Structure 1
Amino acid sequence: MPSAKFTVEGMTCASCVGRVERALKAAPGVRDAQANLMAGTASVDYDAPADPQALADTLRRSGYPPVETEIQLDVTGMTCASCVGRVERALKAAPGVVSAEANLATNSARARVLSGLTDADTLAARVTQAGYEAHPHHEATTQTHDHHSGDSAELARRVAISGALTLPVVILAMGGHMVPAFHHWIAGSIGIQASWLIQFVLTALVLFGPGRIFLTHGLPALARGAPEMNSLVALGSLAAFAYSTVATFAPALLPADARDVYFEAAATIVTLILVGRLLEARAKGQAGEAIRRLVGLRPATARVERDGTVVETAVEDLVPGDIVHLAPGERVAVDGVVTEGQGWIDESMLTGEPDPVRKAEGAAVTGGTVNGAAALSYRVTATGADTVLARIIRLVEDAQGAKLPVQALVDRITFWFVPAVMALALLSFGLWLALGPDPRLTHALVAGISVLIIACPCAMGLATPVSILVGTGRGAEKGVLFRRGDALQRLSEVGIVAFDKTGTLTAGHPELTDIETAPGFEADQVLRLAAAAEARSEHPLARTIVAAAAERALSPATATGVEAKPGLGLAATVEGQAILIGNRRAMTQSGIETGDLAERAAALASEGKTPILIALDGRIAALLAVADPIKPGAPEAIAALHAAGLKTAMISGDTRATAEAVARRLGIDAVRAEVLPDGKVAALGELAQGKRVAFVGDGINDAPALAAADVGIAMGTGTDVAIESAEVVLMGGDPEAVPAAVALSRATMRNIRENLFWAFGYNVVLIPVAAGALYPLGGPLLSPMLAAGAMALSSVFVVTNALRLRRA
């Protein structure tokens, strides 16, 4: 009797246990069910019609959903879109698998599974049984991301051997067509039969040597009733070889006008497709260069304090709390906090921004960044998979392994593609044999083999994933991380980009922007006295004034008799002078004339700034203005979005006057002000008006809107909650990364459309040509060698076109 054990969410008491058991026992086919509160599990014995998926649905309906986890596998042997489909079907057929995706470009597969029902080794075995070697995926290392270079080396060796063996075959077979005297020389020296025997031996070495990878993968797949790309190559090359072998050793079995050999076709097919595989492997290696560069940022060793001395140790041996010594120009090993020294660190690998960042005691440093000219020490705070660099690598890998919605059409077509090609090849062979001109058998053989060889499901399988691979890698280089691959497609479709204001378009902390004095007063002196009074206040604007005085290195003064005036300001005595700091109402109530500074204060308020009036000994002395400054690059970001044809909006909890002032300065199209955190989702709905909306934010209060938007874009300088709620993360705080992300997504989708157009167009046009559709119109009957060359170049074109995204 089959059984299943689920890990269940939400069980908190004995009543929950009872509900889970009753729900499961009521399901058709269930013999027994037991829930365990301490372990958080539910065990079920069942018969048909029950199955794990139906039982999982029962748990969900009961309010205690089963826990789902994701398993990733490394898969070798996938060569085309048909292989991808078969790997996915093998995974989906496994008990407990909710969904599965395979990726031809990254040679990987991932499955969403019900926790407790299966594991990575079991799924890997399933895929291996389907004909594709699979292993559980381990954390990124330089070695695991170097498989393309290994593939390239092995393929280069095969190409060299195959080419050396094929060249004499082509010369013997085709030399006489180009130079008639050569044919006569062969006939008069070694003889035509000896020439055929030499071609037979060399071609056999090609097929069963370098070309055996097509046979060992393609023929078993054919035997399982699951033909794929290798099956087409194996059938085409073996058909040409077998026909030629019969013509060589048993010519009486063939009509007199059909006694010819095609050894050069069989050998050349294998060689050209191996060349195509080599070019494709090298191009795919370049496509994954971004991940390898990220992995390569991890230093192998670090100098750490041990028992009072500094020793060099492997980075893997570091633990949180260790003190690491960082030499000038050295790469930071892991994440930490500076404990000694100050200097500048290049964080461009993290943010994409070239300017180094100053670090002093207490500042955070990130593994993989590069130290400047100063020696620093830092305390380790995170190692291994917990570091920022490791999380970035995981994000990029997850995005690169994802499927876009546009891939669904490709999957439906490729499921039937290879069987359809084999049927067309048989149909072509039959039609030529029945209706073609003499020699009919020869023409039928050429047409059938050409159809098998020219069809290219590889290009269709690579069209989408290789573009995602390069596009997301390019984004990572520029500090734009796509947490999910499908965000690439949806970001390219947005019509409106909405921004949070504070911390996204503005710096997120107020600064002193203006200081104007009345006649007879000096700005620095007034600011020094004001800072002395405000030092005793906890108001946010008070801290801004104190910080401004400190930045100007003004000598501190001492205030006495500090008195807060709620709603008005602050009064104190500083160095024997009575000082009043507040708004216009505070001055009016104290009988102080504000003069021209009152009008100037109103003008500053209309710009979204907060005016602060200062009086000394009953006379107006100065006007200060405090504002949250607009981030450098914000105006350019809005202009770039407008140039891209997008509308912009701002959603802020600030007062309408402040929000509209910022929007005017930036040229933003629509403003929603005085919006509470839980109202941002509704504001997004109002702005959408049937269009897709992207929301850009950085704070905890932005998390609901980031999750609700069609695409959530989080500033990497923001909170972890915001980043986890978003689908796109901008590692720096530069707003200009937003239009860059949009441009990259559009370029990637354009690249995918180009690849799909080529992949489908190539097959739609050239398969009929290979079948001989042009022959009745006076056109050529395509040579199998030309068909092999075209097929090899088709997938190379797709990958090479995707590589253009590295310059996006």
Structure 2
Amino acid sequence: METNNKILTIPLEDVHSEHCALIVDDALNKTDGVLSHKVELNNQLAKIEVDSKQFKLGQLTKNIRDLGYNVTTVKKSYPVEGMTCASCAVSVESILSFEEGVISSAVNYANATATVEYVPGLGHPENFKKAIQSIGYDLIIAESENQEDEIQERQNEHYLQLKKRTIAAALFTLPVFLIGMFFMNMPFANEIMWVLATPVLFWFGKNFFINAWKQAKHRKANMDTLVALSTGIAYVFSVFNTLNQEFWHSRGLHAHVYFEAATVVITFILLGKVLEERAKGNTASAIKKLMGLQPKTVTRLTKEGQQEEVKISAVTLGDVLLAKPGEKIAVDGKVISGSSFVDESMISGEPVAVSKNAGDEVFAGTINQKGSLQYSAEKVGSETLLSQIIQMVQNAQGSKAPVQKLVDKIAGIFVPIVLLISIVTLIVWIIFGGENGLTHGLLAMVTVLVIACPCALGLATPTAIMVGVGKGAEKGILIKDAESLERAQKVDTVIFDKTGTITEGKPSVAASLWKEENAFLTAVLFAIEKQSEHPLAEAVVANYSGISTVTVSDFESITGFGVKAKVEGKTYFVGNKRLLDSHQVAIDNYFTNFIANHSQLAHTLLYFSDSEQVLAILAVADKIKETSIEAVRQLKEQGIEVIMLTGDNEQTAASVAKTVGVSRYKAGVLPEDKLSFVKALQSEGKTVAMVGDGVNDSAALAQANVSIAMGKGSDIAMDVAHMTIISSDLLKVSQAILLSRQTVATIKQNLFWAFIYNIIGIPIAAGVLYPINGFLLNPMIAGAAMAMSSVSVVSNSLRLKFRK
């Protein structure tokens, strides 16, 4: 007896104890189709027996992830060849989703890629390729050093071939059109048109028929099906009438031929494809620019100091590289010697070149200007900042906005519905069309098939997303996915963290007052702060650098308060006033005036004490960024409420808020307070964007509807945030929200016109106006309209590139 049972091995992550195994067991028990299971801790895997008809790998993965653990997966994007419309993308996505080992799949018609997440060992790219080939497409899974160049070359070749076929089809179509429209009574007119039309359909337009047949073999249909049916019916009907004119003459009718309609439709659709391919290429211009920043070769210095030119792929960690004037920095690294200015605008969006000297970081793709720099390679290949940005932009451009899910459902049933409408149109014409019912019915049927276009629907969202994400990258705004870009346009409240967001985040000691300063106490303060990772601690360390140190024990960081540690058996504290209050350490009147003066100046006060008394107070200043005031003003102009949260004291918070123009702020908040504050705003119905550094504010960032991380260099918090502002310029926040609004508006425009086009076009093609005014749409005009609908949608998306 045949069984549906299978044994699967699922690799797990972070399952290190019996407790973890019990939790994973719970997830397995909750998953439909799992018959039996065993978690092997040593091998970090689960062996399960499943009923393949009921079991869904995606559901199992979700159940395990919901409990805080993970299944080991691989997520990769592959180029797809042969897709001609949105229905094709739906077909490819559907086939991939049913492949064994696949957790999720998403196909983007606009950039012709399939993103597949699968479990290694269960899912195999070779199987994905075979499955896609079986329905008439192809998946490019082979990787090479120059894969991007090879793909680009293939795309260029495809475009050139398409262009040549279009030109050739037009040359054959022109005489057919002229004869059919103006010289139809000339001798052998039908025969000449037949001869000229045949290569247009079955050579220059052969791919429509080949792809339609491949789809039909798998009981599927796409745009090629519509084109092949419409032109094929027109051609066969015309051939019949050419060979059997008496059949109609004997019935008192004229034997119409529609060779010109069939050829013009093929030519117009080919022309539309040429324009569409060119326009789609322009939507990916941002990613091409980023890829163009990567140099192919670099000058490497040998141990003997000799220069050698090597491929970028040959560079390894620790290599010493030379950047001559005008050359691109090859990899992320640190300057060893030399000084220069480096243009980092294509990564950060900042137009001003940055001074680089020994010890400074440099990033791949940036352009060295006048001086020469020697730098050591610290991150190479996919680890460089530029590579991470390119990968992030590619992922975002290939992701789907929530609205796209509805469009995909419509595209999936669009072609069958159009086929049904065309058949109904023919039947209605035959019944109610009188003596010309059959000819008019066939003409209307062909026109319905020609004018219906799922392409415009399929291109409406992804082309706008690609342009929007690309434009963001060019401006130094990295967007994680399409959903984040769509969600940002709803933001009505922006929360700013203070330190490192509104301010520079590089505090320095402005003043200090000691009860009794001596070398030992200074060394104690220096040693304790050197172990702390807080920005204020860095200011203290920088202020007292170069002094002798002491041994610190029992160091403890108390989040939101400060630190405590022991030196020579005695306990010391460094932190804010709450830290002193929590340990009942009194503040001597000796410090009263110092505290008052520096509080008025909005300086942060750092208290250094033992367990009995305050030993010193340091006033730390953090400069407000030059763009913060303007950024707050712009957000207010957009109708967005701006709020500032800080762990600093009330006086400092009030002073900074007043300076930048923030009317609502909250001081003395801990990380968990920020999280609660975001939740409270959301409970009021607010759509909240949290802007922070992506580390200290991680809980609030995760809770916010849109999280925006401020970061510089290779430490930017890409994993935490929905968006990352590379340059940490607050003006980019309002730009990001405006970009989101413009992109979503473009998507809505595209979808409106795509739907309206089909809603109006299909009934007119079917002949609804004929009883009113005798108008019956010509298939040639329908073909032109169909071709231009896709081009107009892509062109509208491209307008985003030029908007302010």
Which category of TM-score, normalised to the shorter sequence, fits these structures? 0.7 to 0.9
How far apart are 1:651 and its partner, in Å?
Answer: 1.3
The 8 Å contact of residues 92 and 98 in structure 1, kept in 2 or not, is answered as yes
- 1:277 paired to 2:284: no
- Of the structure 1 ranges 199-208 and 122-131, higher mean CA displacement relative to structure 2 is found in 122-131
SS at match of 2:500: coil
Please give the TM-score of this superposition, normalised by the length of structure 2: 0.84
> Aligned letter for 1:134?
L
Question: Distance between the aligned counterparts of 1:82 and 1:373, measured in 2?
Answer: 53
- 1:405 paired to 2:402: yes
Which residue is 1:358 aligned to?
A: 355
Question: Distance between the aligned counterparts of 2:31 and 2:786, measured in 1?
Answer: 53
Question: Distance between the aligned counterparts of 1:60 and 1:163, measured in 2?
Answer: 56
Which residue is 1:723 aligned to?
A: 718
Question: Distance between the aligned counterparts of 2:62 and 2:349, measured in 1?
Answer: 45
The 8 Å contact of residues 698 and 718 in structure 1, kept in 2 or not, is answered as no
Which residue is 1:175 aligned to?
A: 182
Residue by residue over 1:709-763, the C-alpha shift from the partner in whole angstroms, topping out at 9 and shown as x without a partner, is: 1111011228848432111011111111100111111110000000000000110
How far apart are 1:69 and its partner, in Å?
Answer: 3.1
- 1:758 paired to 2:753: yes
User: 2:259 pairs with 253, 259, 263, which one?
Assistant: 263
Residue by residue over 1:62-89, the C-alpha shift from the partner in whole angstroms, topping out at 9 and shown as x without a partner, is: 9875333323221122222211221121
Question: Distance between the aligned counterparts of 1:242 and 1:423, measured in 2?
Answer: 20
- 1:796 paired to 2:788: no
The 8 Å contact of residues 454 and 770 in structure 1, kept in 2 or not, is answered as yes
User: 2:313 pairs with 316, 320, 330, which one?
Assistant: 316
> Aligned letter for 2:243?
F
> Aligned letter for 1:123?
F
Alignment of 1:58-457 (within 5 A): 66-136=71-141, 138=143, 141-145=148-152, 148-176=155-183, 187=186, 191=187, 194-254=188-248, 255-308=251-304, 309-457=306-454
How far apart are 1:237 and its partner, in Å?
Answer: 0.6
The 8 Å contact of residues 716 and 726 in structure 2, kept in 1 or not, is answered as no
> Aligned letter for 2:169?
S
- 1:3 paired to 2:10: no
Question: Distance between the aligned counterparts of 1:329 and 1:150, measured in 2?
Answer: 33
SS at match of 1:73: strand
How far apart are 1:258 and its partner, in Å?
Answer: 4.1
User: 2:599 pairs with 592, 596, 605, which one?
Assistant: 605
SS at match of 1:141: helix
Question: Distance between the aligned counterparts of 1:282 and 1:732, measured in 2?
Answer: 33
The 8 Å contact of residues 32 and 55 in structure 2, kept in 1 or not, is answered as no
The 8 Å contact of residues 498 and 694 in structure 1, kept in 2 or not, is answered as yes
User: 1:648 pairs with 642, 645, 650, which one?
Assistant: 642
Which residue is 1:663 aligned to?
A: 657
Unaligned 5+ segments in structure 2 are 530-534, 547-571, 575-586, 607-617
Question: Distance between the aligned counterparts of 2:698 and 2:66, measured in 1?
Answer: 28
Question: Distance between the aligned counterparts of 1:258 and 1:585, measured in 2?
Answer: 112
- Of the structure 1 ranges 477-486 and 13-22, higher mean CA displacement relative to structure 2 is found in 13-22
Question: Distance between the aligned counterparts of 2:125 and 2:397, measured in 1?
Answer: 20
- Of the structure 1 ranges 462-471 and 424-433, higher mean CA displacement relative to structure 2 is found in 424-433
Larger Rg: 1
> Aligned letter for 1:418?
V
Which residue is 1:482 aligned to?
A: 479
Cα distance change on mapping 1:332 and 1:721 into 2, 3 Å = closer
How far apart are 1:175 and its partner, in Å?
Answer: 2.4
Unaligned 5+ segments in structure 1 are 177-182, 516-529, 551-555, 557-565, 569-582, 589-593, 613-623
Which residue is 2:43 aligned to?
A: 39
Residue by residue over 1:67-121, the C-alpha shift from the partner in whole angstroms, topping out at 9 and shown as x without a partner, is: 3332322112222221122112112222332322111101011123344321222
Question: Distance between the aligned counterparts of 1:714 and 1:146, measured in 2?
Answer: 37
How far apart are 1:39 and its partner, in Å?
Answer: 2.9
- 1:772 paired to 2:767: yes
RMSD: 3.6
- Of the structure 1 ranges 430-439 and 718-727, higher mean CA displacement relative to structure 2 is found in 718-727
Question: Distance between the aligned counterparts of 2:702 and 2:511, measured in 1?
Answer: 38
> Aligned letter for 1:717?
K
Cα distance change on mapping 1:504 and 1:269 into 2, 3 Å = same
Residue by residue over 1:241-268, the C-alpha shift from the partner in whole angstroms, topping out at 9 and shown as x without a partner, is: 1111111123344455140111011110
- Of the structure 1 ranges 654-663 and 363-372, higher mean CA displacement relative to structure 2 is found in 654-663
Question: Distance between the aligned counterparts of 1:135 and 1:544, measured in 2?
Answer: 53
> Aligned letter for 1:675?
V
Residue by residue over 1:339-390, the C-alpha shift from the partner in whole angstroms, topping out at 9 and shown as x without a partner, is: 1111110000110000011111111110100001001100011111111111
Question: Distance between the aligned counterparts of 2:674 and 2:104, measured in 1?
Answer: 33
Residue by residue over 1:35-56, the C-alpha shift from the partner in whole angstroms, topping out at 9 and shown as x without a partner, is: 5443322334455665353766
User: 1:739 pairs with 734, 742, 745, which one?
Assistant: 734
Identical positions, percent? 37
> Aligned letter for 1:740?
Q
SS at match of 1:701: coil
The 8 Å contact of residues 635 and 642 in structure 2, kept in 1 or not, is answered as yes
- Of the structure 1 ranges 38-47 and 259-268, higher mean CA displacement relative to structure 2 is found in 38-47
How far apart are 1:533 and its partner, in Å?
Answer: 14
Question: Distance between the aligned counterparts of 1:546 and 1:380, measured in 2?
Answer: 28
- Of the structure 1 ranges 428-437 and 688-697, higher mean CA displacement relative to structure 2 is found in 428-437
- 1:628 paired to 2:625: no
How far apart are 1:514 and its partner, in Å?
Answer: 11
Residue by residue over 1:281-329, the C-alpha shift from the partner in whole angstroms, topping out at 9 and shown as x without a partner, is: 0000011011111111111111102342211111111101110111011
- 1:705 paired to 2:700: yes
The 8 Å contact of residues 643 and 665 in structure 2, kept in 1 or not, is answered as yes
Question: Distance between the aligned counterparts of 2:156 and 2:128, measured in 1?
Answer: 27
> Aligned letter for 2:699?
P
How many residue pairs were aligned?
737
User: 2:492 pairs with 492, 495, 508, which one?
Assistant: 495
The 8 Å contact of residues 72 and 120 in structure 1, kept in 2 or not, is answered as no
Question: Distance between the aligned counterparts of 1:409 and 1:656, measured in 2?
Answer: 49
Question: Distance between the aligned counterparts of 2:685 and 2:451, measured in 1?
Answer: 44
Question: Distance between the aligned counterparts of 1:805 and 1:784, measured in 2?
Answer: 33
Cα distance change on mapping 1:668 and 1:24 into 2, 3 Å = closer
How far apart are 1:145 and its partner, in Å?
Answer: 4.5
Which residue is 1:571 aligned to?
A: none
Cα distance change on mapping 1:585 and 1:33 into 2, 3 Å = closer
Question: Distance between the aligned counterparts of 1:269 and 1:477, measured in 2?
Answer: 39
Which residue is 2:582 aligned to?
A: none
Residue by residue over 1:424-460, the C-alpha shift from the partner in whole angstroms, topping out at 9 and shown as x without a partner, is: 1111111112212442222111111110000110000
Cα distance change on mapping 1:259 and 1:170 into 2, 3 Å = same
Cα distance change on mapping 1:740 and 1:146 into 2, 3 Å = farther
How far apart are 1:130 and its partner, in Å?
Answer: 2.8
SS at match of 2:777: coil
Question: Distance between the aligned counterparts of 1:482 and 1:807, measured in 2?
Answer: 19
Question: Distance between the aligned counterparts of 2:507 and 2:782, measured in 1?
Answer: 68
How far apart are 1:611 and its partner, in Å?
Answer: 9.4
- Of the structure 1 ranges 142-151 and 655-664, higher mean CA displacement relative to structure 2 is found in 142-151
- Of the structure 1 ranges 271-280 and 652-661, higher mean CA displacement relative to structure 2 is found in 652-661
Cα distance change on mapping 1:750 and 1:145 into 2, 3 Å = farther
The 8 Å contact of residues 534 and 546 in structure 1, kept in 2 or not, is answered as no
Please give the TM-score of this superposition, normalised by the length of structure 1: 0.84
How far apart are 1:609 and its partner, in Å?
Answer: 3.3
